Chains A and B, each alone.
Chain A
Amino acid sequence: MLRMSNTLLSPQDITALWLTFKLATVVTLALLILSTPLALWLSRGEDRLRAVIQATVALPLVLPPTVLGFYLLIAFSPDSVAGQTLSALGIPSLAFSFPGLVVASMIYSLPFVVQPLTNAFRNIGQRPAEVAATLGATPWTTFRLITLPLAKPGYITAAVLGFAHTVGEFGVVLMIGGNISGETQVASVQIYDHVEALAYPQAHALSLILLVFSFAVLSLVYGRRTTGGRPWLNQG
């Protein structure tokens, strides 16, 4: 149970905010790296396998977070196949731990990163990479010097949405992370606790921080979209 303190944000609130920021940063960076090959592949055609994978990636958009959290909790349990494999490899159980939160958040925020990247790659099209290849550039050089800079607006959108969505996560965290201060207690859970304890001023303070943050982030995304990058096709 929290007690009123002189400042609006208690040390525990600050710990929760810091943990939220750390979680979102780790998840966003990991997702940007892992989603790049997936988005590149998805952008290169339209067939049944790609449709199935795209639907799978989009699932967290529509599933109640509790459903996702429930399955993850089962997967993380030491009795499950996944859990047994992990313990055989000497990795501790993911349930109620920060690494577990990272894995769950990555699944939860996956579509928010994969979709902007897929769209960005699709807008760029195959042509720039083909031009680079016929000029003798290796696929890696092509990616580094051509595809990546052209997809920069997509990466910024993906990073911002992935980060913001992870900050806003609640249901999945509660299911698999619980409420351990400094380990799994993120800001959204902390707000819930404040409300449960009828500590409205504290709930206000944290909520306002998240509200301002989310608004600022979305302004950035939509602001970019109007001034945004130049689509490849415009140059005729």
Chain B
Amino acid sequence: MAEPRLTAHIRHSLGDFILDAELDLPATGISVIFGPSGCGKTSLLRCLAGLEQPKGQITFGDHVWLSPSVNLPAHQRPIAYVFQEASLFPHLNVADNLAFAERHALKRSASSEKDALLDLFDIGHTLKRTPESLSGGERQRVAIVRALMRQPALLLMDEPLASLDEGRKQDILPYIERLRDELNTPVIYVTHSLAETARLADYLVALEQGCTTISGPLHEILTDQAFPADIGSEAGSIIEGGISSIDSHWQLAHVHIDTGVSLRLPAQGLRPGQAVKLWIQARDISLSHQPESHSSILNTLPCTITDIRQDANPAMCIVYLRCGKHTLLTRITRASGNHLQLRPGLSLYAQIKAAALI
């Protein structure tokens, strides 16, 4: 049986801005719609939800949501939507907010399922409280559970972490991962954060100035040179590897990323043989002609420049590096590039200041 898909071709004008997007997504896992602020990703999600009235067509599995002759209103689409701000109903307590969604659930859910959801998102203790009295993180978790209570066939999430500070984001991300791993609800997740994308996406759609530019499975896209160039300070790459050994004296794990190439990371919580994904941001790599030994930087990798591109910021450029089979990005000033006489083909050393496990 072919997997159900969400396909859409949407044209919608909002003042001067024109959204003209094409989507063809698998209706499984987390699909991330990624793009800079103002690229129209929220509008696209609102079109899918039926909150905007675009022209075009939207089909989910066998069901037509939008066509020249059909325009299913939002409340008849089998979706739920998590907004950027939690948007809980302020006159209802948490339990009643959840009950409102349950009242319109697409399937009956057993009370054990409900309890499991409350446990999964750790909000069981908030049921009698008003939205006002919750912390930002709790509110957003309640909003996610409320959306799930509807038992949607598709969950739409619009930057659900954007209104939270960094610590809170880290608190909620694991819950969204659990959603993917344990609940089997397909999610379309809109974000401008490459870190969130790298961590959550199975499938990725990049949106630029209202048009979809690239789409495909995450691991295929991230190695595509065309992808990360435009995201400036957020640029980075994902590297997959395995823990080859743990140095118990210095408490460092050796992460094998390619033949003869490994990185060392704090070993806390890691086991030998474990597969890991690393997120290395362009701003955390510096370049040097010598393998710098008089430095506090632990990881230095030999690599070759494959490309140098202009950044959106005129003072900066993005340098593409090949390191074994991996592509790394570094974002440096054009002045340093000139000083080091960087050019494609040049071999040099990348010093990695930080690599995050994702």
Interface residues of A (CB under 8 A from B): 127-128, 130-139, 142, 145-146, 149-150, 230, 232, 234-236
Contacts and interface: CB of A to CB of B under 8 A. Distances in A.
Interface in B115-137: 131-132, 136
Contact of B75 (A133, A232, A236): A133
B146 interface: yes
12 contacts: A133-B75, A134-B156, A135-B80, A136-B150, A145-B100, A146-B89, A149-B91, A234-B132, A235-B85, A235-B139, A236-B86, A236-B139
A133 B88 contact: no
A127 B51 CA distance: 10
A236 B150 contact: no
A99 B150 CA distance: 49
Contacts of A136: 75-76, 101, 104-106, 150
Interface residues of B, number: 33
A230 B132 contact: yes
B51 A133 contact: yes
A150 B91 contact: yes
B85 A135 contact: no
B117 to A, nearest CB: 15
A137 B79 CA distance: 12
A121 B76 CA distance: 24
Contact of B87 (A127, A142, A149, A234): A127
- Which interface residue of A132, A134, A145, A236 has the most chain B CB atoms within 10 A? A134
Contacts of B50: 133-134
B89 A131 contact: yes
Nearest to B81: A134
A131 B87 contact: yes
Interface in B32-55: 49-51
Contacts of A142: 75
Interface in B73-121: 73-76, 79-81, 83, 85-91, 100-101, 103-106
Contacts of A234: 90, 132
A99 B232 CA distance: 70
Contacts of B105: 136
B132 to A, nearest CB: 6
B163 interface: yes
B147 interface: yes
Nearest to B102: A135
B86 A235 contact: yes
Contacts of B147: 134-135
A135 B104 contact: yes
- Which interface residue of A130, A132, A136, A137 has the most chain B CB atoms within 10 A? A136
Contact of B74 (A134, A149, A235): A134
Contacts of A138: 75
Contact of B51 (A134, A139, A150): A134
A127 B131 CA distance: 15
Given A130-B74, A134-B81, 10 more contacts: A128-B87, A133-B50, A133-B51, A135-B75, A136-B76, A136-B104, A136-B150, A137-B100, A234-B132, A235-B139
Nearest to B51: A130
A28 B262 CA distance: 78
A135 B82 CA distance: 10
A131 B73 CA distance: 13
A128 B75 contact: no
A150 B90 contact: yes
A61 B354 CA distance: 67
Given A133-B75, A135-B101, A127 B146 contact: no
Contacts of B87: 127-128, 131
Contacts of B139: 235-236
Contacts of B101: 135-136
B252 to A, nearest CB: 41
A182 B29 CA distance: 73
Contacts of A135: 75, 80, 100-101, 104, 146-147, 150
- Which interface residue of B88, B91, B132 has the most chain A CB atoms within 10 A? B91
Contacts of A127: 83, 85, 87
Contact of B79 (A132, A134, A149): A134
Contacts of A230: 90-91, 132
Contact of A134 (B49, B90, B136, B163): B49
A142 B104 CA distance: 11
A59 B323 CA distance: 75
A236 B150 CA distance: 23
A36 B260 CA distance: 73
